[in-house]
Amino acid sequence: MLNRRHLRIKVLQTIYAYQQSEDKNIQSFEKALLKSVDQVYEMYIWVLALLSEVSEYAITDAEGRANKFLPKEDDLNTNTRLANNTFIELLRQNKRYVELAKKYKVEVIFDRELVRSVFQLLKQSVEYQHYLESGERSLKVEKDIIKFIFKKIILKNPAIEQIFDEHFINWTTDKDVLQALLAKTLKNFSSEDPDKNQLAQLCPNWDDDEEFIIDLFRLTIKHGDVYQQYISGKTKNWEAERIALIDTLLMRMAITELLNFSSIPVKVTINEYIEISKEFSTPKSNSFINGILDKILTELQQEGKIRKFGRGLIS
């Protein structure tokens, strides 16, 4: 699922795009920000649809083998257990999944050759042979083969990687969230009654998270020049062009949180942006950002501008 760090990264990416663009229409970038969040869920539904198609292909493969010019006995008695995989059957009957599959038009995404290639790789695996030979039909066993298809075949398939790269600009950074969503879905589908199983939620509390990312984006843009003065005052010995733009944006976002989000503890804010810098900026950025933000925090506290309440008081 998308946690606050993932959401901060989404805001960072949007602010970076805003800074690089000649178009300064805030509303259009807010829409882009919300779309980038929604696309994570769209990716998730795409993957569920692909898993369903691979499962269904077991029948297509069996029919092809049976229709050979000179089929062998194995060809005439192909095991199609995967086509009736319990998890996939429950997924296909899930009303929310059916609704979202229509919304994201998953039926026009994957061509048959791609599905066939995934199935062929699956057929060659020891795990699939064990699955076919196993007499156990527990929901756990049925989920395990789906987990294997996703982690060991789909995530490592260059053709699928290309499709997702073309449609989702943040595919590389959103992969971890996708894996968490699928893991949560497999956990949630614990009943053989389709109505009792739920798809994973993108965010635990989207209303709060949506307000958070929009406010963080707007306020960072709105007060960018003012907050830059705090940064400039602590980096006088640095040439401006030597400071990575990502570092500057991360520090502006951190100052925005410190001054405007009273329920977020100071330590959480500082730690989050240091951790994000490790992934998105230079090797030395985390120590640089830590040092500058520490000085800025001291100044803001001396000026009495840091006001934290409730959860924000947790040290």
Domain extents in the chain: 39-196, 223-313
Average pLDDT score over residue span 263-276: 96
Computed on alpha carbons and rounded to an integer, the radius of gyration of the chain in Å comes to: 25
Do residues 265 and 311 make contact, with C-beta atoms less than 8 angstroms apart? yes
What confidence tier does 315 reach under pLDDT thresholds 50, 70, 90?
Answer: low
Query: What value does the mean pLDDT take over residues 3-19?
Result: 96
Stronger pLDDT, 109 or 231, i.e. the higher one: 231
Q: Does residue 257 surpass a pLDDT of 70? A: yes
pLDDT of residue 239: 63
pTM as predicted: 0.90
**CATH fold of 223-313, please?**
N-utilizing Substance Protein B Homolog; Chain A (1.10.940)
Assign 129 a pLDDT band (cuts: 50, 70, 90): very high
The pLDDT value given to residue 71: 78
pLDDT category at 78 given cuts 50, 70, 90 is confident
Q: What is the pLDDT of residues 147-157, one digit of tens each?
A: 999 999 999 99
pLDDT value at residue 75: 62
